[in-house]
Chains A and B, each alone.
Chain A
Amino acid sequence: MNFLNFLVAGVSLGSIYAIIALGYTMVYGIAKMLNFAHGDVIMIGAYVAFFSINSQSLPPVVAVLLAMAICTLLGVMIEYLAYRPLRNATSLAVLITAIGVSFFLQNFALIRWGSSPKNFPTVVPFGKITLFGGDLIISGEAITTILTCLLVMVLLTTFTQKTKMGKAMRAVSEDKAAAQLMGINVNYTISITFAIGSALAAIAGVLLCSMYPLLNPTTGAMPGIKAFTAAVFGGIGSIPGAMIGGILLGIIEIFGKAYISNQLSDAIVFAVLIVVLLVKPTGLMGKKIRVKV
């Protein structure tokens, strides 16, 4: 039964990675840039939720909504102030800027909220489920995380496949100039993408801190990198890829911790990534790279 417990832990950790990876992959797909500040938006979201609950005594649902609103605003602002002026710059310049934004957010949090970790409160309103006479325990956090992840997946897929805005995003991600000729406002579409990605980051931040309740200014950094790995693993630019990549990464990490070595689990995760990329350079669900004739 340990196996099942580990699997549940892996899937729920992976669900968080998946939600974060969606932000990476959508932004990459549409703006063709790696937003390395994404992980730190998670941290900001978690702090907003933390203070809403602890200092303002807001109910958790309101706190999550508030965190989403603020992160959405933050994401759109980051895009507008830091990335938009570099729309035609080299990708290296954009990458360095993203790393700069990441440091800025971490240090902002450090000055504003200090370096001592905060104890994140419980936000999940229900307890654990015990199955098989106590052999399998599924925590309320795990259930919430997995359900949230599924819901996000369904909503995002519907959004990109069925709605006008979603289709416009796919059009922009394929060919910006052609999308513009259709009358699509490319900058607006990119802003919306950052808004969605950042709102998801806020959700991920709250879920992450519910599961690992220590919050400090670098809380988002490692999950951010892992989720980026998950996005590459699944095929960056692909929404189902981010989902599958995230969940697999979570499972590999937990199984690595449980069966091989606690210290080596991260190394195992990245080793698997390297093997996958050697065999399938575009990731599990990656698009074929078309050669323009």
Chain B
Amino acid sequence: MSMLKVEDIHVYYGSIYAIKGVSFEVNQGEIVTLIGANGAGKSTTLKTVSGMMKPKSGAITFEEKSLLGVKPHSIVGLGMAHCPEGRRIFQEMTVRDNLEMGAYTRPKGEIEDSIAHVYDLFPRLKERFRQIAGTMSGGEQQMLAMGRAMMSKPKLLMLDEPSMGLAPLLVEEIFRIIQDLNRAGTTILLVEQNARMALAIANRGYVLETGRIIASAEASALLKDETVKKAYLGG
């Protein structure tokens, strides 16, 4: 069953025509990745799904419910969390306060359990729960951003460039955690420039180029595809 279905969306950034008819779907339990170069429209696509941007036309349905017209702040409550590009953690708040904000839409009684769960996933956050988030390293901030997104107990977690600016070892750790989350039942929509890593853990992939999807297939097939290899996997 498709959990998220995006059909022929067209999105403008002011006068710039950024997304020119993108369609894709994410099924329950999958890891789906959108890959593509800088400026291909990957982040814009995610922003449109999470309601930060409005499409000019097209349809977005999440669990059979149309997301068009749903207020941006109400979307997270439907079971979809968006971990944005550049992490966007609350720099001046503590690690714990950041996590609490992630659970903003949930009843107070459930927050402690979720925090404990996030601390299990990211033990580093537990050690630093009182630290001001902006003073942590890039890798820790990425973990906080993902932990914060998990605080809403999403069915679908959308990650925008989780590997950006991180050392290779950390990237591996982050990707391992993404796989763990997926195994534990969270469906993942992953946007990445690091196409090789993304396709290695994904079930399926879509290739975006200047606002259009130019290829979509099983991730393993995309990894072997000659054009994809040449353009996105370094030959």
**B152 contacts which chain A residues (CB < 8 A)?**
182-183
Residues on A with C-beta less than 8 A from B77 are 183
Known contacts A177-B52, A177-B84, A290-B134; is A182 also within 8 Å of B101 by CB? yes
B100 to chain A: closest residue by CB: A167
- Give every chain A residue within 8 A of B52 (Cβ-Cβ): 177, 180-181
Q: Is B229 an interface residue (CB 8 A)?
A: no
Interface size on A, residues (CB 8 A): 19
Near B by CB (< 8 A), chain A positions 160-186 give 164, 167-168, 170-171, 174-175, 177-186
Partner of A175, one of B50, B82, B88, B108: B88
| Binary flags per residue of A172-210, CB closer than 8 Å to B gives 1, else 0 | 001101111111111000000000000000000000000
Q: When the two chains form the complex, which single residue of A164, A178, A185 contacts B100, counting CB atoms closer than 8 Å?
A: A164
Q: Does B2 contact A (CB under 8 A)?
A: no
Cβ of B156 < 8 Å from any Cβ of A?
no
**B90–A184 contact, CB under 8 A?**
no
Q: Decide if B74 touches A171 in the complex (CB within 8 Å).
A: no
Known: A177-B52, A178-B84. A183 touches B104 (CB 8 A): yes
Q: Point out the residue from A177, A179, A290 that lies within 8 Å of B101, measured CB to CB.
A: A179
B38 in the interface (beta carbon within 8 A): no
How far is A182 from B76 in the complex, measured between Cα atoms in Å? 7
Cross-chain contact B97 with A167 (CB below 8 angstroms): yes
Of all chain B residues, the one with the shortest Cβ separation from A161 is B97
A181 near B92 (CB under 8 angstroms)? no
Looking at the complex, which one of B73, B91, B102 makes contact with A180 (CB distance below 8 Å)? B73
User: Across the interface, which residues of A come within 8 angstroms of B101, CB to CB?
Assistant: 167-168, 171, 179, 182, 184
Question: With an 8 A cutoff between CB atoms, is B72 at the interface?
Answer: yes
CA distance A180 to B75 in the complex (A): 9
- Closest residue of chain B to A167 (Cβ to Cβ) is B97
Q: Does A87 contact B (CB under 8 A)?
A: no
Complex contact A170–B93 (CB within 8 A)? yes
Q: How far is the CA of A290 from the CA of B84 in the complex (A)?
A: 19
Give complex CA distance A181, B97 in Å: 15
Please, which residues of chain A bring their CB within 8 A of the CB of B71?
185
Q: Residues of B contacting A170 with CB < 8 Å?
A: 90, 92-93, 97
Q: How far is the CB of B167 from chain A (nearest CB, A)?
A: 16
Interface size of B by CB at 8 A reads 29
Q: Which residues of B contact A179 (CB under 8 A)?
A: 101
Question: Given the complex of chains A and B, what is the CA–CA distance between A183 and B214 in angstroms?
Answer: 33
Q: Is A287 an interface residue (CB 8 A)?
A: yes
Binding site of A, secondary structure by majority: helix, strand, loop or mixed?
A: helix
Give, as a whole number of angstroms, the nearest-CB distance from A166 to chain B.
10
Does B220 belong to the interface (CB within 8 Å)? no
Give A181 to B145 CA distance when docked, in angstroms. 11
**Residue numbers in B under 8 Å from A174 (CB-CB):** 90-93
CB distance from A88 to the nearest CB of B (A): 11
The answer, among B88, B97, B102, for a CB contact under 8 Å with A177, is B88
- Which one of A164, A178, A185 lies within 8 Å of B90 (CB-CB)? A178
Tell me, yes or no, whether B105 is within 8 Å of chain A by CB. yes
Interface residues of B in 124-150 (CB under 8 A from A): 134, 148
Q: What is the 8 Å Cβ interface bit string for chain B, positions 52-89, against chain A (1 contact, 0 not)?
A: 10000000000000000001111111000110100011
**Which residue of A has the minimal Cβ distance to B86?**
A292
For the complex formed, measure the closest distance between the CB of A82 and the CB atoms of chain B, giving whole angstroms: 22
Whether A180 contacts B72 in the complex (CB less than 8 A), given A164-B104, A167-B97, comes out as: yes
B134: chain A residues within 8 A (beta carbon): 290
Selected contact of A186 from candidates B51, B73, B82, B105, CB within 8 Å: B73
| CB closest chain-B residue, reference A185 | B73
- The docked-state distance in angstroms from the alpha carbon of A291 to that of B105 is 31
Nearest CB on A from B98, distance (A): 8
Minimum Cβ distance to chain B for residue A234 (Å): 17
- Give min CB distance, A271 to chain B, whole Å: 32
Partner of A171, one of B76, B84, B93: B93
Distance (whole angstroms) from the CB of A68 to the closest CB of chain B: 28
A214 to chain B, nearest CB (A): 42
Interfacial chain B residues near A290, Cβ < 8 Å: 91, 134
Most chain B Cβ neighbours within 10 Å, of A168, A179, A181: A181
Q: Which residue of B lies closest to A179 (CB)?
A: B101
Bound-state CA distance A181–B49 (Å) is: 11
B72-A178 in contact (CB<8A): no
Nearest A-chain residue to B80, judged by Cβ: A181
By a CB distance below 8 angstroms, the chain B residues around A175 are 88, 90
Which single residue of chain A is at the shortest CB-CB distance from B108?
Answer: A164
Given contacts A164-B104, A174-B91, contact A183 B84 (CB under 8 A): no
16 contacts between A and B (CB under 8 A): A164-B100, A164-B104, A167-B100, A170-B90, A170-B92, A171-B101, A174-B90, A177-B88, A181-B50, A182-B105, A182-B152, A183-B74, A183-B152, A184-B104, A186-B73, A290-B91
